[in-house]
Amino acid sequence: MKPVHTIDDLASRDLLDAGAAKPARLAVIGHPVAHSASPGMHQPALDALGIDARYIRLDVRPGDVATTFARLRQLGFIGCNVTVPLKLEAMAACGDVHADARALGAVNTVRFDADGVTRGFNTDGPGFARAIDDLFSQPLSTLRVAVLGAGGGAGQAIATTCAMQRVPRLVVVNRDAAKLNALVPRLRAHAPHNEIEPVTFAESERLAVLVSGCDLVVNCTSVGLNPGDPPVVSADCLRPGQFVNDTIYQPAATPLLELAAGLGCRTSNGLPLLLHQGVIAFQHWFPGTIPDGAMRNALGL
């Protein structure tokens, strides 16, 4: 069996399932996608619940999402997860998008329903809120939060979740000021009476003041994925006692987390977010199931 499939493998069920004990009926799509830990979490849950289905990685290039959805539906897929850089394209390719996903600005979970409608959801936002409560034993709504990389799909979803939770202060950070200028009015629509502060990474002095003043710092950028990456922010943005969460989970300890731990911060990587958003996604596909235990064990949490 292939570790990563492509759109060409969706030509027929015989080709896709050659040598496999179970039919592929769920997938994570992205580009690249070989690093995704989702199969290692979802497959144990499927097996534990006796569901005859295989969860695969599917490398899909930007521009091919709608075609991929059509082929997955033809092959009888239940649904799929969507990772970078396809979350915005996935939303456009869905026939129906849940109101929360539309508010969060991206789709990361898709369900192919029997009525012929492809439905899109976002589990990043609610999964993040659950993960923070689980990690730090404090509701997200009580924390002052800085979101690093708020202009991307996951960053927008997390920033919007923070606004919807009415966090007392929200600092949104991005390289591109234009993206911040477009995002902030949408955030303020959810929290008109709360503090929302946009700042670019280039504004180093203001960045340090705003980020260090927050209770929770969340990295939603890709900085830290590659060997040799520096911490996404410098030490003057952090202080002892802060919560620092990196949405990256491979490597387990990013340069940001290593820097934060050395400064006395409480840290966590992206595995708890992966777990909680995955549980919610699984329940979109299989309502009433409880996959938490099997998924938590598979991720070593």
CA proximity to 221, closest of 209, 212, 213, 230: 230
Amino acid 157: pLDDT: 87
**How many whole angstroms separate alpha carbon 187 and alpha carbon 104?**
10
Same domain flag for 265 and 282: no
Residue ranges of the chain with per-residue pLDDT less than 50: none
The phi and psi torsions of 235 (rounded to 5 degrees) equal -60, -30
**In this predicted model, what pLDDT tens digit does every residue of 143-164 receive, in sequence order?**
999 999 998 778 888 999 999 9
**How many whole angstroms separate alpha carbon 160 and alpha carbon 124?**
11
Tell me the sheet residues that pair with 267: 244
Same domain flag for 130 and 79: no
Amino acid 156: pLDDT: 87
87 is catalytic: yes
Same domain flag for 154 and 258: yes
Same domain flag for 58 and 184: no
Contacts of 83 (CB under 8 A, 6+ apart): 28, 29, 30, 33, 36, 38, 108
Same domain flag for 246 and 170: yes
Amino acid 35: pLDDT: 87
Range of the domain at 66: 5-122+273-299
State the pTM of this model.
Answer: 0.90
Task: Give SS3 for 246.
Answer: strand
Instruction: Provide the CB-side half-sphere exposure for 239 (13 A, CA).
Output: 9
Largest CA distance in the chain: 59
Same domain flag for 64 and 106: yes
CATH number at residue 244: 3.40.50.720
Same domain flag for 118 and 183: no
Same domain flag for 253 and 134: yes
Q: Do residues 217 and 238 touch, judged by C-beta distance below 8 A?
A: yes
Same domain flag for 242 and 278: no
**In this predicted model, what pLDDT tens digit does every residue of 49-99 receive, in sequence order?**
999 999 999 999 999 999 999 999 999 999 999 998 899 999 999 999 999
Contacts of 133 (CB under 8 A, 6+ apart): 139, 140
Same domain flag for 112 and 139: no
Number of structural domains found in the chain: 2
Give the containing element (helix H, strand E) for 280. Answer: helix 271-285
